[in-house]
Amino acid sequence: MPAEWEHQDAVWFGWEGESTQYYPVVVNAIKILMPYVQVKVAVKSDSLFLVAKNFLYKNQIDTSSIKFYTIPGDRYWIRDHGAAFLVNERGELGVADFEWDRCGYPEWLKYKHDGNPDSIQKYWDLKLPSVALTAKVDSLMASVEGASILKTNIVQEGGAIEVNGKGCLILCEGTVLNRNSGKRREEIEKEFKSVLGVTKIIWLKQGLAEDPLSKGARFITGKYFSAWGTGGHTDEFVRFSNPNTVMLAWVNEEERNKNPLNEINYQRMNENFKILQKSTDQGGKPFNIVKVPLPDLIVKPVVAKEKIDETTQTLDIEISAFKKSEMPKPGDMLLRVGASSYLNYVISNGIVILPSYVENGSSKEKEQRVKDIFQQQFPNRRIVFLNEMPLNWEGGGLHCSTQQQPSTKNRSR
């Protein structure tokens, strides 16, 4: 699996519904990317293809330059269920076909329903048809690109895969072991090495507090809650910037007591830092570790409600989204947390798109520090900031919304 900074033939987006708060962000991202790389859009039906094309056209995008594909079962967050592209020594394209369980949905059901087998089976059966369709998207993407398929029984999402392109892979125990309970770590590592072509695997412990395992709503601490989370995707907290440099999300000592989530992240990232300090790359060389500040905590006071009008866009939350024993009362004021992190960035040929949080209350000085870090790590690329909070409120970011397709001809940085 090539590193993301290597030359790309395309960047894919998923298009799930007819109207959503995501697409103004997507429009801006596509406009930024189009001069640098081919944009491809996967839609789940022919009728939705027309909706997507018309929406982009009305927003001054040349849709004749975009390649559209009708792929049944597609959802918006294409990073996680879409094709994990590979390139072999002959320059041939491949895809690692992982299993899909809706980002740990079975484990979430166990938590929400206190392990009750009847409830777990009932709600899993309701989602199973859509899960089965979505599970085919990566192989369908492989088909339209003429790529070979490497099948594995490992359950994994693309947002939890971080490689340096030279044989090193970073995984997070909080997601991988959760998705693959019952499998031995040795078995899991063997499969990853087989389908991704890696030789060295580094296991970090936990991801950000803002990214708990949640498929409805889950309290993180106190009244802080997340409406959707994966349990620790690596693209929120750790990324390679070159084969020997790792960027790690960070909370400084002087910021750890500003709020309860900072303290959690301070502890978690320090633990991950110590692991990385003791680790080496595929050649036995120690890593250069770059600490990237997390944005100032972004929260939104919201109201717990008995029922949400699905025709309106709101950050308020239904009480039924929570576990029964944690369910708030209608009218309770809660604090909704966005999955905000500068490491959920998108990199392509000549460009890096970084999330911006200044408009949402994070400091300009911190964002400038982040820009300086990225200009140092990617000196030959244009650095662009984009407000992505509509994605962050739903537990993801622009990296989660895209999937890179590596070049089969040009593997240069």
pLDDT (tens place) for every residue of the chain, 413 residues total: 999 999 999 999 999 876 678 999 999 999 999 999 999 999 999 999 999 999 999 999 999 999 999 999 878 999 999 999 999 999 999 999 999 999 999 999 999 999 999 999 999 999 999 999 999 999 999 999 999 999 999 999 999 999 999 999 999 999 999 999 999 999 999 999 999 999 999 999 999 999 999 999 999 999 999 999 999 999 999 999 999 999 999 999 999 999 999 999 999 999 999 999 999 999 999 999 999 999 999 999 999 999 998 778 899 999 999 999 999 999 999 999 999 999 999 999 999 999 999 999 999 999 999 999 999 999 999 999 999 999 999 999 999 999 999 999 865 44
The domain that holds 319 is classified in CATH as 3.75.10.10
Instruction: Give a yes or no: residue 411 inside a domain.
Output: no
Tell whether 288 is covered by a domain.
Answer: yes
19 falls within a domain: yes
What backbone phi and psi angles, to 5 degrees, belong to 62?
Answer: -75, 95
CB atoms near residue 137 (< 10 Å) = 24
Predicted pLDDT at 310: 77
Query: Is 413 part of any domain?
Result: no
Q: What is the pairing mode between strands 299-305 and 288-293?
A: unpaired
Can you tell me the distance from the alpha carbon of 165 to that of 83, in angstroms, rounded to the nearest whole number? Answer: 17
- At residue 13, the pLDDT reads 97
The domain of 132 spans 8-406
Amino acid, res. 182: G
* 172 phi/psi in degrees, rounded to 5: -115, 125
How many domains does the structure of the chain reveal? 1
3-state helix, strand, coil in the chain (%, to 5): 35, 25, 40
Sheet holding 38-43, edge to edge: 67-70, 38-43, 8-15, 402-406
- Please state, as a whole number, how many other Cβ atoms lie within 10 Å of the Cβ of residue 227: 21
**10 Å Cβ neighbour count for 399?**
26
Q: Is residue 313 part of a domain?
A: yes
Contact 268, 209 (CB under 8 A): yes
Say which residues have a Cβ less than 8 Å from residue 25's Cβ, sequence separation at least 6: 386, 387, 388, 390, 391, 398, 401
Is residue 222 in a domain? yes
Residue 132 lies in a domain: yes
In the prediction, which pLDDT does 17 show?
78
318 in a domain, yes or no?
yes
Question: What pLDDT was estimated at residue 18?
Answer: 65
Specify the long-range contacts of residues 118-124, CB closer than 8 Å, at least 24 apart. Answer: none
